[in-house]
A and B are shown apart, each in its own frame.
Chain A
Amino acid sequence: MTEPLLRVKELVKYFPVRGGLFRRELDRIHAVDRVSFEIGAGETLGLVGESGCGKSTTGRCILRLIEPTAGDVWFMGTNVTQLERGALRSLCRDMQIIFQDPFASLNPRMTVGSIISEALTIHGLAKTRRQFEDRVVQLLETVGLEADHMRRYPHEFSGGQRQRIGIARALAVEPKLIVCDEPVSALDVSIQAQVINLLEDLQQQFGLTYLFIAHDLSVVEHVSTRVAVMYMGRIVEIALARDLYTSPLHPYTEALLSAVPIPDPKVKRRRVALQGDVPNPLKPPGGCRFHTRCPIRKMPLCSQETPRLRETSGGHWVACHLRG
């Protein structure tokens, strides 16, 4: 296999919990705990997990929107975590992000045209006014909007249209990798399908690579080449989408998949019920973090030893003592 476009190695992010008189660090939340994965050029890696599992933090650490605590992020042969501010900026041309909330991620006081062309200015990608306009119009049309939308403000658009604006902004600098952080979660299903189709078309057209972060397992399955499942800051399973969905190995993946309601009343499934909630992230359980809710745990092994990700068959990795 050739060098992947992105290689994340042992990525760690702790958030300090401060309090008391001098805002001492009282504790740490292990948001991302030694996460490693690779993404090949042109593929889509889906990153799924429930709220608070660290999937968004992982995405943001890759772009250094959040500074990682430890670990390496290699992007096209450069270690992103070692870069100076200036060098990081030029790398941002190749890495972009689309956010979940299309209402919060667009500056309400800027016109759509200036939102999209801001990156062109920063990276010196257009010289004359004419060039700017042409490029903005071209981008708007690429994402299915119209040229005269450039003079309007974000509040004049619906959620789906705003997400298109966010996508146009990301495309402006012709990136190679786009981190899509819950790009369709805030949208209605009929609009969601429009945006998913758009993202797929753009991937074909521009040879884009996606890190697709979402909690909706059906959406992730639909768009991804490979899928990684996170639980409490760790990747518990990673495999080709088809393998993961048809023969999940980790008991957490199994439970997640069986919990997804299927829009067909004829399909009756066996549900792997999980007891209780996700534990307090300040006091993560020792050993396998899933052992407190796991239906197949074997004590004391699971509560004492942290299972490592092991490859079971071609490209299917799982972190479980009992499976694989």
Chain B
Amino acid sequence: MSEPLLEIRGLRTQFATDDGMVRAVDGVDLAVHAGETVGVVGESGCGKTVTALSVLKLIAMPPGRIVDGQILWRGRDLVPLQSERMDQIRSKEIGIVFQEPMTSLNPVYTVGEQIAETIRRHEGLGRRAALSKTVDMLRLVQIPNPERRVHDYPHQFSGGMRQRVMIAMALSCGPKLLIADEPTTALDVTIQAQILELLQDMKARFGMAVMLITHAMGVVAETAQRVVVMYAGRVIEEASVEQLFSQPRHPYTLGLIRSIPRIDTAAVRKTRLEAIGGVVPSLVDPPPGCRFAPRCRFATAICRQAIPPLREIEPGHKVACVL
């Protein structure tokens, strides 16, 4: 396989809190190749968002800190990079779309001004040219009447339309990688379908890679080619989407898949959901050994001794479990 676009090696990001050091991301390895969609799934607090923010160095420091690891962007490490250089990479090379479009847009500027600002800054275009490119971008993400809407403020858009604005902004400088952090979580299901479709279209049009962060297995199944499952700050399984759903190897992945009701089969056959007992461990003082061991049905004494490394069990399928 060719050199990955983005390669994260042994990333550790921690946050200082009153309760102690929170190890939000604790040794994550992850790669994204050009043109592919990688789904990063996991529950709240598993470190998926912090991983994404670390890539763009959008972690508030302090209290946050990248304590270890490398983030190789096209072969170059971003961790030691100066903030000016990082500014150029953000949005020109890596774009990001957040979960909550209302809080990530500035309410006192029109959406046109906000998108045009990005374009002027990164592409060096003049006011007029930037505005006309903004209108083009809004048209591209299928906002009706873009010439008029460009002068509207964020609150004048609906949730789905705001997310389209965010996508237009993220794509305005033609990034090679789009990080989408729970882009549809705040949206209704019919609007979610529209946005996912738009992301697919945009991906095809710009030939970019997408790192899709989500907690919804359904969204991953429908959009990603490769999936990375995270638990308590670590990657516990990585596979192609087909492998992951047909042969999940980690007990946590299996539990995740079995714990969601499905509308396509459930109507025929009602079964009880298989809940995963217990709760996610504290990241201040995580349990020794496998972090899932306290909730795992198959856990043995070995599991509690050392953290199982992520190893490849068949081509393209990695799992961090001793069993």
Contacts and interface: CB of A to CB of B under 8 A. Distances in A.
A109 to B, nearest CB: 21
B193 A266 contact: no
B95 to A, nearest CB: 23
Interface string B57-76: 00000000000000000000
Interface string A213-225: 0010111011000
Contact of A51 (B188, B255, B256, B267): B188
Interface stretch (A29-37, A130-138, A257-265): A257-265
B217 interface: yes
Contacts of B144: 276
Interface string A43-70: 0000000110000000000000000000
Interface string B182-215: 0000001111111011000000000000000001
A263 B188 CA distance: 18
A277 interface: yes
Nearest to A223: B261
Nearest to A191: B279
B188 A50 contact: yes
**Chain A binding surface, main DSSP class:** helix
Contact of B261 (A219, A257, A267, A278): A219
Interface stretch (B20-28, B105-113, B147-155, B269-277): B269-277
Contacts of B141: none
Interface in B234-283: 241-242, 245-246, 255-257, 259-264, 266-268, 270, 272-277, 279-280
A2 interface: no
**Chain B binding surface, main DSSP class:** helix
B188 A215 contact: yes
A188 B255 CA distance: 12
Contacts of A312: none
B197 A197 contact: no
A28 interface: no
B267 A245 contact: yes
B222 interface: yes
A259 B221 CA distance: 13
Interface string A257-299: 1111111111100010110111000000000000000000000
B270 to A, nearest CB: 8
Given A190-B255, A193-B259, A222-B273, A267 B264 contact: yes
A15 to B, nearest CB: 19
Given A190-B43, A256-B190, 5 more contacts: A191-B43, A222-B273, A262-B222, A271-B193, A278-B158
Interface of A: 50-51, 158, 160-161, 188-194, 196-197, 200, 215, 217-219, 221-222, 241-242, 245-246, 255-267, 271, 273-274, 276-278
Interface of B: 43-44, 144, 158, 160-161, 188-194, 196-197, 215-222, 241-242, 245-246, 255-257, 259-264, 266-268, 270, 272-277, 279-280
Closest 10 CB pairs of A and B: A261-B218, A222-B261, A193-B275, A193-B259, A50-B188, A188-B43, A259-B193, A190-B276, A263-B217, A194-B275
